[in-house]
Structure 1
Amino acid sequence: MPTTPAPQIAVIGAGPGGLTCARVLQRHGIDVTVYDRDASPDARNQGGTLDLHADSGQIALEEAGLLDDFHALARPEGQAQRVLTRHGEVLVDYRPVGAEDAAPEIDRGQLRTLLAQSLTPGTIQWGHTLTSAAPGPAGTHRLTFENGVTRDVDLVIGADGAWSRVRPLVSAATPVHTGVTFVEAHFDAVDTAHPAVAELVGDGQVFATGDHKGLIAQRNSNQHVRAYIAVRDEADPSRAAGVDPEDTEAVRAALLRAFAGWDERLLVLITDNDGPYVNRPLFVLPAPHTWPHTPGVTLLGDAAHLMTPFGGNGANFAMLDGCELALAVARHDTLDEAVTAYERTMLARAAAAGDGAAALERVFGPGDRDRTDFPDFAQETERYRQGAAAYRTRRPATPQTPLS
């Protein structure tokens, strides 16, 4: 696109999608500023692990020039999947063969650091909480931050997650609770301090479900495991049960009552955790979520299409969104043409994927699941590879100006 006068582009949110967008823009010589409410890159824990799919997240990293760096950090063995019944019977035991690279795992914090450090110094403005974004003349928007900073921009990109402050500029939609809440637990030094958990989880993920509930645990790097105790309940099941969520022992007792009758080998995910539990209620934006084209503003990732974790599309789609939006800006003569082209593709993709709420109903339904309730993981990895090949054959070429 024309470089004079240079468009003023602001990305709100330094998550995987927003940072990918900024990186690809900079690779094409386009200025951008990213604003994030965190005081610094390590101000808070970034969460668990992500599987980056060959046909989405890895495509985005390739365009960002970071795919080799990603593979140096990623854990291909983390693609292992074990599915059990609540009685401990094994339904699926999938283990990747060789250097399987269709959906390797990476810690969220590692991915964020990789993307953030790839940007020109000063690109990310930490400690900037957006309080309002108001339309201005000729499609511009005035951004106002909690610290008193204001800025007028030609394009504001809402990459600010489920509770986006940018979304109201284009849509009145708000997230709705799915009826499922994950109660998170964590385990440190798992191989030595929690050998039963290490054996249960293996190199990747273990998933057990039945009677409207589930136990999920994922291995992260550095001998860390995160478990998600799934219950169909209110957004804060502890308070709903009359339990103080800060009282770890009381929460544990309530969870054990809820999971009475489950195999003892699974209950270590409730009984042996380090530190307190954390509520993670699952919200979605009911699909399809669309909005009328609005000059000077667009959304990506959870701000545009908040999904459940089932399917693993959230971060992958966010990164592909960011990549495709940046490429559209590089390929079109005006920002408005770029956003129009981007939204046409992104909204269709998100609508086809759905919000994942139906999967919750299936996985956390009454009674027990069987093998047919879960995907064939070998076939799934092959679909990622085939999808990546198909994507590469149809994408237009764009001249690149890589950063040094």
Structure 2
Amino acid sequence: MNVTIVGAGLGGLALARVLHVHGIDSVVYEREASRGARGQGGMLDIHSGQRALREAGLIDQFHAIARGEGQDMRLLEPDGTLLLQEDTPDDAPPDRPEVDRADLRNLLLDSLPDHTVRWGHAVEAADDGLLRFADGSRTTYDLLVGADGAQSRVRALLTDARPVHTGQSIVELGIPDIDRTHPDLAAMVGRGNYWVLGDGQALSAQRNGDGRVRVYLSFHDTAEDWLATSGIPFGNPAAARARLIDLFSGWHPRFTALIAACDDTVLPRSITTLPVGLTWPSRPDVTLVGDAAHLMPPVGQGANMALLDGALLGLALAAHPDDQPAAVEEYEREMFERTGAAGRQSARMQQLLSSPDPARKLLAFFQPG
């Protein structure tokens, strides 16, 4: 069985690892030049995805790098009213621990033979058992797995669906070494997640394992080109922070102080999703995992679904070593049902966060009745 995986993200690496555990070779082609070529983002809330790490034989190593205290949460309104504070006891079970995405990716990479990931291979086209790269090289495949994210090149072999703008635009900022540089803000944010939700806007802060706090400023009901027309000068970090503070005028000064304390990292993101419940007719030689298959809003499901996709596809292939079409169909049938439910849940959460009075509605979600 010649399993060719495009994309060295969590889903693709989980698939490669589970195949390796079951004695099946695979090759992962990744466009980035090396594992450290690009930042991997912030913390991940790993819950259902822990099953994938068990199947991969990595659950103990995962718990060693995960942060149980990252489950702490504080929810506030723009005027500074604290609605909810949940602090995780030291002996709490690790049901939803946070882990740095880069640390989790490195755990998966280190669990694979050195030759598995081929760096610096950007896919240009694929079909009829042939994969072609931007540098002119090519390779053949029996099974091609697109784990190549939101802008997947492989997806076009299965469906015409493309990601569309959700109306949410995000600007990411950050404060390095916050405990030393801004201890007052560190105490305010706490050990985990800090959410301030207003009508049409939100500020969230997330403590990372390296002492950095990532700050996300969200703007809802925005046009697809809003980041370009917002007047935020992304090429000038100091001016960008000043403009963002202006956009949050009227909020409590402690929140604009958090923005002012950020460094020169200013990253704009337009949030896109694939249609909820996306399916396609099964092909024996091509399938998808992760965001390539079911891009969702960033509300805590995407990474877990990607890990499960990879692990469960690997298990299906191991269970049907002589019947690849049956393995792919079995995987896709389960994946469509599981990720459809997760996509609907994510869409409801996204709708709640962009609705009027979102902080009180989220409080009711966490504390029903």
- Asked if the contact 1:178–1:357 (Cα under 8 Å) also holds between the matched residues in 2, the reply is no
Contact 1:238–1:244 (8 Å) recurs in 2: no
SS of the counterpart of 1:309? coil
Post-superposition offset of 1:120: 1.1
In structure 2, distance between residues paired with 1:368 and 1:152: 50
Structure 2 CA distance for aligned equivalents of residues 374 and 294 of structure 1: 44
Partner in structure 1 of residue 93 of structure 2: 100
Partner residue, 2:53: 61
State how 1:289-308 maps to structure 2 within 5 Å: 289-308=278-297
CA distance in structure 2 between the aligned counterparts of 1:100 and 1:234, rounded to whole angstroms: 42
Cα contact 1:190–1:198 (8 A) shared by 2: yes
Distance 1:211 1:372, change over 3 A: closer
- 1:366 aligns with one of 338, 345, 356: 356
Tell me the alpha carbon deviations over residues 121-157 of structure 1, each in whole angstroms, 9 at most, x when there is no partner. Answer: 11000001111111x2xxxx21001122211100000
Take 1:33 and 1:372, find their aligned partners in 2: how far apart are those partners? 43
Q: Which among 325, 332, 336 is matched to residue 325 of structure 2?
A: 336
Which residue in the other structure is 1:118 paired with? 111
Match in the other structure for 1:46: 40
Identity %: 45
Mapping of 1:68-79 within 5 angstroms? 68-79=60-71
Find the aligned partners of 2:205 and 2:359 in 1 and give their Cα distance.
18
Structure 1 equivalent of residue 186 of structure 2: 198
Mapping 1:85-96, distance limit 5 Å: 85-96=77-88
2: CA distance, partners of 1:88 / 1:288: 38
3-state SS of 1:40 partner: coil
1-structure distance, mates of 2:126, 2:363: 44
> SS at 1:275's partner residue?
coil
Letter in 2 for 1:47: G
Alpha-carbon shift at residue 254 of structure 1 (Å): 2.3
C-alpha contact 2:196 2:359 (8 A) present in aligned 1: no
Q: What secondary structure, in the 3-state scheme, does the structure 2 residue paired with 1:218 have?
A: strand
Pair 1:22–1:368, CA change in 2 (3 A): closer
User: Is the counterpart of residue 216 in structure 1 residue 198 in structure 2?
Assistant: no
Does residue 83 in structure 1 map to residue 87 in structure 2? no
Using the size of structure 2 for normalisation, the TM-score is 0.95
Q: How does 1:342-357 map to 2 (within 5 A)?
A: 342-354=331-343, 356-357=346-347
* Structure 1 portions without partners, runs of 5+: 1-6, 380-404
Distance 1:286 1:72 in 2: 36
Return the letter of the residue paired with 2:108.
L
Give the TM-score of the pair, scaled to structure 1.
0.87
- Pick aligned residue for 1:267 from 256, 259, 265: 256
Task: Please say if 1:34 is aligned against 2:28.
Answer: yes
Measured after TM superposition, the shift of residue 373 of structure 1 is 4.5
Residue ranges of structure 2 left out of the alignment (5+ in a row): none
Root mean square deviation, CA, Å: 1.6
Deviations 1:179-203 (A, max 9, x none): 1111000111100112233112211
CA drift of 1:374 comes to 5.1
- The 3-state SS of whatever aligns with 1:354 is helix
